[in-house]
Structure 1
Amino acid sequence: MDDLTTLARHHLDQAKADPHGRSAHLFLHDGPLRQSVIAMVSGCELDEHNAPPAASLQVLYGHVRLTGGVDPLDLIAGQLQELPHERHGLRALEDSVVLLTAVTATHGCPAPYEDTATA
């Protein structure tokens, strides 16, 4: 069992030392289910990328902005948001860690999704 608090702290430290200001770790890979911790320092952005068939983003620490679509959406620690089924990006408004949960294939959508957002 992974401890999310420990993973979050570790990857935020890694992000602070990384020249791109981010660190990510895929810690659960079970069939089409993927869970990743993504840490980003303030001001860091993940460029717009395609959405998987189903996904959610939970902010474990900090404050992020989900971009793309019509209106940007700010999320803070403790909030959980379904990701849009369209291209989107993510910006850290302060040092932040998020938990990305993605389903990479669904019935009628057998092609695997490649997550290009992780570091």
Structure 2
Amino acid sequence: MRDIAALTQEYVDASSSAPHGRSAELVLQDGPLRQSVLGLAQGAVLSEHDSPPAGSVLVLRGAIEIVGASETIALETGMLSELPRERHSVRATVDSAFLLTAVTDI
């Protein structure tokens, strides 16, 4: 069992001091299900990447933007969204942490 509040603080702090402004850890794996906590310092970007077959993002602290070809999804603390079904990038508008849930095989 993992303490999400503690992980949130840990990854916000770690991203602030990381060279590229980001930190991440796979915190749960069960078959095709993956959950990771990611921290992004203000202005840090996860470059464009493919979406898993199914996934969601829950913002634990801060605010992020998921930028795809067809839309930008702005999320703040406590907001949950499915991942776009297209290549996308993620940018933190303030120091942030989020829980990424991905299903890697359907």
TM norm structure 1: 0.87
CA distance in 2, matches of 1:59, 1:19: 22
Gaps of 5+ in 2: none
- Measured after TM superposition, the shift of residue 73 of structure 1 is 1.3
Higher radius of gyration, 1 or 2: 1
User: Which residue is 1:85 aligned to?
Assistant: 85
**Percent of aligned pairs with the same residue?**
48
CA distance in 2, matches of 1:42, 1:73: 17
CA distance in 2, matches of 1:18, 1:59: 20
Deviates more, 1:38-47 or 1:63-72: 63-72
Letter in 1 for 2:101: T
Aligned length: 106
CA RMSD of aligned residues (A): 0.7
Structure 1 runs (4+) greater than 4 angstroms displaced: none
The structure where strand makes up a greater share of residues is 2
Q: Deviations over 1:66-115 (max 9, x none)?
A: 10122211100010000011101100000000100000001xxxxxxxxx
Q: Deviations over 1:19-44 (max 9, x none)?
A: 11010010101110000000000000
Letter in 2 for 1:10: E
Q: Does 1:69 align with 2:69?
A: yes
CA distance in 2, matches of 1:73, 1:80: 11
Q: Does 1:103 align with 2:88?
A: no
User: Which residue is 1:14 aligned to?
Assistant: 14
